[in-house]
């Protein structure tokens, strides 16, 4: 028989919203349970019952911001990879510079927190790109003998590495350039992929 009061989803949402507000305004270094509780109109015990540490709280809040992004499947490898990476890129752009690096540094020393960080922030984009690569190989767009793990790391690092360290901009142009440079070396027929992508891009104008 269940004991205690059930969790109130409204409290969860309010606390996570307050957490994001602190991260956006002040960064991870200024995130405290006290400040989140004050903004959310909640108590510290109520927050700790849901998230045992501020790291868990920050990860939960950032997971909300990243959301559940669908993996595009248009039949166009260049389009899918560009759009799919762009979706996650847009989400990471909404995170204040420095937050990810500071949070990772705080999580890296504890295996459980490090795993939670990777599962929350890095695995979803990587898995999405992996699905797109598998479909591209199945369609015959990419060579079947390519090291998919290496290709996956190279593509996802466009978002991950730059989002974590913030040493260079991660613009749509940069993503497009990275996808083109990599696919030009592993595609079965790269010019055909480019032609297909251009044909799809021009199709709406042709029917306008």
For 9-63, give the CATH class. mainly alpha
- DSSP assignment, residue 46? H
The per-residue pLDDT string of the chain (208 residues; one tens digit each, 9 = 90 and over) reads: 444 455 677 889 999 999 999 999 999 999 999 999 999 999 999 999 999 999 999 999 999 988 877 788 888 888 888 887 777 777 788 888 889 989 999 999 999 999 999 999 888 888 888 888 889 899 899 888 888 888 888 877 777 776 777 666 667 777 778 788 888 888 888 788 888 888 887 776 544 4
- The count of residues in the chain is 208
Taking each helix axis from N to C terminus, what angle separates 148-165 and 99-107, rounded to the nearest 10 degrees? 110
Closest by CA to 103, choosing from 86, 118, 125, 123, is 118
31 in Cβ contact with 69 (< 8 Å): no
Q: Compute φ and ψ for 140, nearest 5 degrees.
A: 90, 10
| Number of CB atoms found within 10 A of residue 131's CB | 14
Right CATH for 68-206 from 1.10.340.30, 1.10.3210.10, 1.10.357.10, 3.50.50.60: 1.10.357.10
**Furthest-apart CA atoms within the chain: distance in Å:** 64
User: Which of helix, strand or coil describes residue 81?
Assistant: helix
pLDDT at 71: 80
Instruction: State the span(s) of the chain assigned CATH 1.10.10.60.
Output: 9-63
Q: Compute φ and ψ for 196, nearest 5 degrees.
A: -65, -45
Query: What is the residue-wise DSSP string for 87-124?
Result: HHHHHHHTSPTTHHHHHHHHHTTSHHHHHHHIIIIIHH
Instruction: State the span(s) of the chain assigned CATH 1.10.357.10.
Output: 68-206
């Amino acid at each position: 028989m269940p004991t205690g009061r059930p969790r109130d989803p409204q409290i969860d949402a309010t606390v996570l919203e307050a957490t994001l507000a602190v991260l956006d305004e002040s960064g991870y270094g200024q995130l405290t349970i006290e400040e989140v509780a004050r903004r959310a109109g909640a108590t510290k015990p109520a927050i700790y019952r849901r998230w045992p540490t501020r790291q868990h709280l920050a990860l939960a809040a950032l997971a909300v911001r990243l959301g559940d992004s669908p993996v595009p499947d248009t039949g166009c490898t260049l389009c899918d990879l560009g759009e799919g990476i762009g979706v996650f890129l847009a989400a990471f752009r909404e995170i204040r510079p420095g937050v990810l690096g500071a949070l990772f540094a705080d999580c890296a020393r504890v295996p459980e927190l490090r795993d939670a960080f990777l599962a929350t922030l890095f695995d979803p984009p990587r898995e999405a790109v992996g699905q797109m690569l598998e479909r591209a190989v199945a369609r015959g767009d990419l060579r079947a003998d390519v090291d998919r793990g290496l290709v996956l790391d190279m593509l996802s690092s466009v978002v991950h590495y730059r989002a974590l360290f913030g040493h260079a901009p991660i613009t749509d142009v940069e993503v497009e350039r990275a996808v083109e440079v990599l696919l030009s070396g592993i595609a079965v027929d790269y010019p055909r992929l480019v032609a297909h992508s251009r044909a799809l891009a021009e199709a709406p104008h042709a029917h306008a």
